Amino acid sequence: MKRILIINGPNLNMLGKREPEVYGTETLESIQLWTEKKLGDSAQTCWYQSNIEGEIVGRIQAAAGEDYDALVINPGAYAHTSVAIHDALKILKIPILEVHLSHIYKREEFRHTLLTAKAATAIMTGLGKQSYYIAVRSLLD
């Protein structure tokens, strides 16, 4: 069975409470449960969330020594600012799919720059909670 690491960045622990008109009303935990149920036995996902840039860098570095088949990452706002997360992603030798729940190109201009995406294999934006499921499925296929 394929093992996929899923990393979520800052404020994604506030899903459900945070700007529901943009991000919907589901919590990260319920999105995780929904995704795991839809994936069934096809993949094993390991979910991690942190609000702290250095912790996310540390988790990515640790993943370089673990046997994940792919990484799905929603870096949250760090996608627009973090050279450190970009550089950590470059260490990994596995496919990386960057996801954003909202359609970032329909939003404020400061969200249009994606530093981390330059280190990702592909990006997906605007598909809401489906993003995680579709990302894992595409990596499996």
* Active site members: 23, 100
Whose Cβ is closer to ligand DQA: residue 9's or residue 88's?
A: 9
Which residues are CB-neighbours of 40 under 8 A, at least 6 positions away?
A: none
In this structure, what token pair is assigned to residue 108? 């404020």
Answer positive or negative: Cα dihedral of 14, 95, 61, 80.
negative
Nearer residue to ligand DQA within complex by CB, 4 or 9: 9
Question: What are the Cα distances from residue 27, in Å, to 11, 16, 42, 139?
Answer: 11, 5, 23, 24
How near is the Cβ of 54 to ligand DQA at its closest, in Å? 18
Amino acid identity of 12? L
Query: Residue numbers of the site for ligand DQA (CB under 6 A)?
Result: 11, 74, 76-77, 79, 100-102, 104, 111
CA proximity to 99, closest of 37, 44, 47, 33: 47
In the complex, the smallest distance separating the C-beta of residue 92 from ligand DQA, rounded to whole angstroms, is 19
Q: Which is nearer to ligand DQA, 38 or 111 (CB)?
A: 111
Question: Least distance (Å) from ligand DQA to the CB of residue 102?
Answer: 3
